[in-house]
Chain A
């Protein structure tokens, strides 16, 4: 069983839609939860960072962590074509020190 499960998609939505991206994980010791965005032929870049359970909002992006069900979510409101990328969840035991990535979900937002 993989430590982090993420539906690879692909996911295609119209501009302005609300996007929901999700991961589940098996290691209950994970304390830090990151979401990365990766554009084609680029490296991952940090999008959201959450410690322990709860919600965190940053502009159009909201990250949710439910440690009781080992479930991580990223919501994108008013999605834009520029949001088209691969989104990777990455929980960690030691913050940024050693990330365990999900497979990534390919998102396309079409005008």
Chain B
């Protein structure tokens, strides 16, 4: 069975541009999480979807970040416009339920120059 897949694995964009990250969760997993790790810092929670609904978006840093989950399947995280401080590794994780193990993808490394 395929694990959590993230696209692209690496993205380099200029400040002010728009970038969209994609996460394909494990099939059947209703719960989808986004996390990110900026340089030298810990991995931080961004938001949590249950199916297509945002359960908790308390970790979203500002309104330049927009997350969607179409039909409760894959999810996208758009950053518009990107700033230098957005550089880091963005992780997606999915689980069948909140009390079951969440599996992480390999991450998308975003570099804003």
Contact = CB atoms under 8 A, between A and B. Distances in A.
A5 to B, nearest CB: 10
Interface residues of A, number: 22
A60 interface: no
Q: Helix, strand, loop or mixed for chain A's interface?
A: loop
Contact of A96 (B41, B44, B102): B102
Given A43-B91, A46-B101, A96-B101, A2 B42 contact: yes
Nearest to B91: A43
Interface stretch (A12-20, A61-69, A97-105): A97-105
B42 A97 contact: no
Contacts of B33: 98
B43 interface: yes
A22 to B, nearest CB: 15
Interface of A: 2, 4, 6, 41-46, 49, 88, 94-104
